[in-house]
Structure 1
Amino acid sequence: MPETRRPSVVPETSPRVTTAAGIIRTVAGIIRTVGGDIAPEELGRTNYHEHLFQVSPLLAGDELDNEEASGHEAISLVESGFGAMIEATPMGLGRNPAAVARIAARAGLHAVHVTGAHHGGHYPEEHPIRALSENELVERWTAEIHLGFGEDPGAAASISASNVRAGMLKAGIRYWQIGPFERRALAAVARTHAETGAAIMVHLDYGSAAHEVLELLERDGVSRDRVVLAHIDRNLDSGLHADLIASGAYLGYDGPARHREAPDQAILECLERVVARVGSDRILLGGDVARASRYLAYGGMPGLEYLGRRFIPRLEVRLGADRVDALLADNAARLLTLAVNDG
């Protein structure tokens, strides 16, 4: 891996502040997308959790690996009312940052790509990522945020995209289980966060162990307001959700259209109760469609357009269009903003 360093990306017009030591430093907030750094106000309505590419032994036969088809899905996402998305595929699962950058440019979409790791169930025992130490993970992930994506360990094809950088971190846990691999990854994302300031998404199987994950990250130095807990709506407990938000965390609701697990009505009702108790400024919405059999362009359904065309209008009826618009645009921008220094 190349030497890790913090590049100077702050525009000359950024505000200048003087530290207690008398050092003048330029400070700015940016969001790091696959197309380059943007101002937070440029982000727009954001689907916080999708996958344009993903290959996993847990999803055999449902691979997302076709740039043209994934590109059509990205266009449908834009046409359904979104200007941005988080590409949530981490290391070792068929990610393709260069292709995501091309797709985003063609679709007119801001895409923030994660780096990090999923839970161990996605990586067979022989997968090279399992052999990486905590220090090696930190080195790789820090470099992918500061410098650009490198090769995936054990990847069959090159995905190096040195001019494309990650803008967020990801880790994952299994259902009520944080094993040695998951604990190492959580520790590594915490240390990478300290080096880069990047926010952290944590996959929670069925919304489990939410408080436990936050406590682990907090002990590792991560403030709760830099964490989003994905799949919290696989456990539709509005009291739990309100407590998590009150503690400072962001919650990711990404279960719309998963009717075998919960109808949209149940998610809408839960959201309404949570907002009534603690407000809406710590809520993120996504689809996590994540499978070829669920993408229109791959021959499945309901596709990336479902969230914008089917779910959001129903949420607007309950919460009001202005509040939902602010929820979709402002919350993601606040979470994803990085403070980048040139001093």
Structure 2
Amino acid sequence: MTPAIRTVLGDVPPAELGACNAHDHLFLRSPALPGQELDDPAAALAELRSFAALGGRAVAQWTPWGMGPRNEDLPELSRQSGVHLIAATGMHQAKHYAGLPHGPLTDLFVHDLTAAQPKAGLIKVAGAFHHLDEHARHTLAAAAEAHHATDAPIAVHLEGGTAALDVLHLLCVTHLVPPHRIILGHLLRFPDPRTHRQAAESGAFLAFDGPSRAHHTTDWLLLETLSTLATAGHAEQLLLGADTTTATARSTADGPGMAFLLRSIQPRIEQELGRALASKIFVENPSRAFAAHWR
């Protein structure tokens, strides 16, 4: 079976993905973030066009079920911007929901991945701060079951960048998910090189996301962290995303936004770490991280 990346306009060959923002949000809402909703399709389109103008060709939206992903709007945004969009199913931490769904989570996730219109192309779940609470264990188990049913990649929000090894143990050891089907997000928020190295040695993809968001005081460690992991033999597991979660963070609203990845971060990586590594991070690695042998 040939692997494919499931976008909102259909499955595409990995070679067609192009330069990818591996973790972002076009739409988002949560009772834990009142007044910070992303819910404007026109603003989402403007942000996509700013990214495309710099050579961006793909965006993975990690907004899961119940957090206002507006997946029904994504196909037209993809058509108008020329950017491949990967939608998410899954579930975030319990605090982000006024109510939880009825019925088995696995069934919900599998439906979104195989029968919804448009179909999701990844499963987004979350850990807790420095541990896995009952909700996290429940949603991670459902994500593992949905992965085994579909081969979809599992993208994990690590709260404050923590509990990466706990997540890997639960998914890989307890639920037998191959580590290369897992994307660990927010790792730079807890810049422990030993944890990064151990997570990389498992075979998982490592996502460094949210550059220049005001509360991320560890951004200055990004290039050093990428260099250390690449030197240790993990260049093919590194991903970057903008993780835009508020309207004011968009490039079209005087924030860094999606465009910052290609306008500022990519040139620095090319200059300081080499064009080959930049190509892996933005093009080659996402094409493998998001590809699946869909069932």
TM-score of the superposed pair, with normalisation by structure 2: 0.95
How is 1:132-171 mapped onto 2 (pairs within 5 angstroms)?
132-133=102-103, 136-148=104-116, 162=117, 164-171=118-125
Task: Look up the equivalent residue of 2:18 and give its one-letter code.
Answer: G
Aligned partner of 1:235 in structure 2 is: 190
Residue deviations 1:29-65 (CA, integer Å, cap 9, x gap): 1111001111110001111101000011222111110
Q: What SS class does the counterpart of residue 28 from structure 1 fall into? A: coil
Q: Which runs of 5+ in 2 are unaligned?
A: none
Number of aligned residue pairs: give it: 294
1:107 Cα shift? 0.5
Task: Look up the equivalent residue of 2:89 and give its one-letter code.
Answer: T
Residues 1:313 and 2:267 aligned together:
yes
Q: Which runs of 5+ in 1 are unaligned?
A: 1-26, 149-161
Residue deviations 1:11-35 (CA, integer Å, cap 9, x gap): xxxxxxxxxxxxxxxx221111001
Residues 1:55 and 2:29 aligned together:
yes
Match of 2:100 among 106, 120, 128: 128
Residues 1:191 and 2:165 aligned together:
no
Aligned partner of 1:295 in structure 2 is: 250
Distance 1:293 1:327 in 2: 26
Task: Look up the equivalent residue of 2:265 and give its one-letter code.
Answer: F
Distance 1:223 1:103 in 2: 33
How is 1:64-75 mapped onto 2 (pairs within 5 angstroms)?
64-75=38-49
Residues 1:249 and 2:204 aligned together:
yes
Residues 1:220 and 2:192 aligned together:
no
1:300 Cα shift? 4.5
Greater CA radius of gyration, 1 or 2?
1
Retained in 2: the 8 A contact 1:257–1:263?
no
Aligned partner of 1:211 in structure 2 is: 165
Distance 1:146 1:318 in 2: 42
Q: What SS class does the counterpart of residue 87 from structure 2 fall into? A: strand
- Aligned Cα RMSD in Å? 1.5
More helix, by proportion: 2
More moved, 95-104 vs 319-328: 319-328
Retained in 2: the 8 A contact 1:272–1:318?
no
Q: What SS class does the counterpart of residue 279 from structure 1 fall into? A: helix
Residue deviations 1:86-134 (CA, integer Å, cap 9, x gap): 011000001111211111111000111111001112123xx133xx35x
Retained in 2: the 8 A contact 1:48–1:286?
yes
Residues 1:76 and 2:76 aligned together:
no
Q: What SS class does the counterpart of residue 39 from structure 2 fall into? A: coil
TM-score of the superposed pair, with normalisation by structure 1: 0.82
More moved, 64-73 vs 302-311: 302-311
Distance 2:129 2:195 in 1: 17
1:263 Cα shift? 5.0
Task: Look up the equivalent residue of 1:166 and give its one-letter code.
Answer: A
Aligned partner of 2:72 in structure 1 is: 98
Retained in 2: the 8 A contact 1:245–1:278?
no
Aligned partner of 1:324 in structure 2 is: 278
1:285 Cα shift? 0.5
More moved, 257-266 vs 271-280: 257-266
Retained in 2: the 8 A contact 1:264–1:311?
no
Task: Look up the equivalent residue of 1:139 and give its one-letter code.
Answer: D
Q: What SS class does the counterpart of residue 26 from structure 2 fall into? A: coil
User: Identity over the aligned pairs, expressed in percent?
Assistant: 33
**Structure 1 segments of 4 or more deviating over 6 A?**
none
Residue deviations 1:222-260 (CA, integer Å, cap 9, x gap): 111110110001011223212211111111000311354
Distance 1:323 1:230 in 2: 19
Distance 1:166 1:220 in 2: 22
Retained in 1: the 8 A contact 2:185–2:209?
yes
Residues 1:43 and 2:38 aligned together:
no
Retained in 2: the 8 A contact 1:229–1:251?
yes
Distance 2:194 2:230 in 1: 11
Distance 1:340 1:54 in 2: 27
